[in-house]
Structure 1
Amino acid sequence: MLLCYVFFGCIGFVLLLYCLLELHYFLRTLACIVWAKLSKKKVYILDETRVAGICLTTDIDNLLNHMNNARYIRELDFAKIDFNERTGLYHQIKKNGGAIVLGATTIRYRRFIKLFSRYYITTKIIYWDDQNIYMEHRFVTPADGFVNAVVLCKTRLTNCNADQIITDLMVNSSQCDLETAKSQKPEVPVELAKWIESNEISSALLRKS
């Protein structure tokens, strides 16, 4: 009888957690951190990372046949965790007393990811300035290499200098010296420059109002 009470008590506790929290999201976050730390090799800060995914029944929209539009953004959380852990980016930011705030995101959908279809997400840094790091993510179908969606994310760093963080990671990787690191900073892509301009216009309008 006591075992029955314990069993049903545990079941009830788990159900309560699911009601109060999106429990599987936090469990998956923990799993991503552990997997990136223990099972994957370190990555140079300017290299591209890749994580695999599959569209499950928990990901689909009300048409019941392809991934919900909002789910793309949610999946990026796990891609970013993998990138930040493997490159050492998050550790370097915390080491310098900084923090991360998502400043803006834009996504362009090109083709549905259908139910039970496999995909992978690529993540790479495409530009940075003193305050922000800009990343590009792509949802790609493995079978034909088709890019289903492209996402631009602006990550704002607080209490630290983004340019210094990236430079330190480049130098600490032993792949380059300070001068070489500075020369590796890419030019801002045209589409990103236009997006940054759009965000600045939006901010100016909001300040006026």
Structure 2
Amino acid sequence: MWWMILAMLYIAFDFNYFIRVAFTIATVACSNRNLKMTDTITTYGLCTTQDIDMFIDHMNNARFLRELDFTRFHWYGRTAFWSAIKPLGGSAVQSSAMIRYRKKLPLFRPFRIETRLAWWDDKSLYFEHKFVTLFDDFVRAIAFSKQGVTGCDVRLAEIMDGFEECRDKPEQLEELRLWSQANEVSSQKLRKER
């Protein structure tokens, strides 16, 4: 009987995702949790049969974006940022992502994702993520994600000033600047359509 309930749960929900979330939280709890906000955080993965596309030989494009959830969980858990916004009632939500695929990530190939905080403004954090295969150190894809910080009564700039390493804000990367402009154009267009 229990196996039928488990099978129904597995069919009804993406059970692997929830197992991976639990595993990620446990891994973060056992990791170095004193990393600076500006440090690059590396996570590892393996392209499995759960990740492949219809050609059955490389990672599906959507799986790259899903991997970013877990890299951000690591970043939030291993830096002091989450501890700084949680008492303020804050949270972070994914508000935008951009990815460039350079070369397929083959089945059964191990890879790492190098995640770093690339920039921030008054409302959001911007991350850069590089997918790099271990056997040849080739950057298979590069992604940027925008995390909106919500629920805080304090401006994000004030929170960031609380971290010594963030007092000197980095220069905004050109691709982030252009992407932000494209997002703003899209937002304006959608507001006009209401």
Q: TM-score range by the shorter chain?
A: over 0.9
Aligned: 1:32 with 2:32: no
The aligned counterpart of 1:16 is 8
Which residue is 1:3 aligned to? none
Q: Deviations over 1:61-89 (max 9, x none)?
A: 00000000000001111111111100132
Q: 1:162 aligns with which of 148, 156, 164?
A: 156
Matching of residues 178-197 of structure 1 within 5 Å: 181-182=166-167, 184-197=168-181
Name the counterpart of 1:50.
Answer: 42
Q: Cα RMSD between the aligned structures?
A: 1.3
What code does the residue aligned with 1:190 have?
E
Q: Distance in 2 between matches of 1:59 and 1:91?
A: 32
Structure showing greater radius of gyration is 1
- When normalised by structure 1's length, the TM-score is 0.87
- Any idea what SS the aligned residue of 2:73 has? helix
Unaligned runs of 5+ in 2: none
Q: In structure 1, how many angstroms separate the alpha carbons of the residues matched to 2:34 and 2:56?
A: 38
Return the structure number with greater helix share.
1
Q: Is the 8 A contact 1:45 1:166 kept in 2?
A: no
Identity over aligned pairs, percent? 37
* Cα distance between partner residues in 1 of 2:67 and 2:107: 15
Gaps of 5+ in 1: 1-8
Decide which of 74, 78, 83 is 2:66's aligned counterpart: 74
Residue identity opposite 1:145 in structure 2: D
Partner of 1:5: none
The partner residue of 1:145 within 119, 130, 137 is 137
Alignment of 1:126-137 (within 5 A): 126-137=118-129
Separation (CA, whole Å) in 2 of partners of 1:36 and 1:194: 33
CA distance in 2, matches of 1:189, 1:13: 50
Letter in 2 for 1:46: T
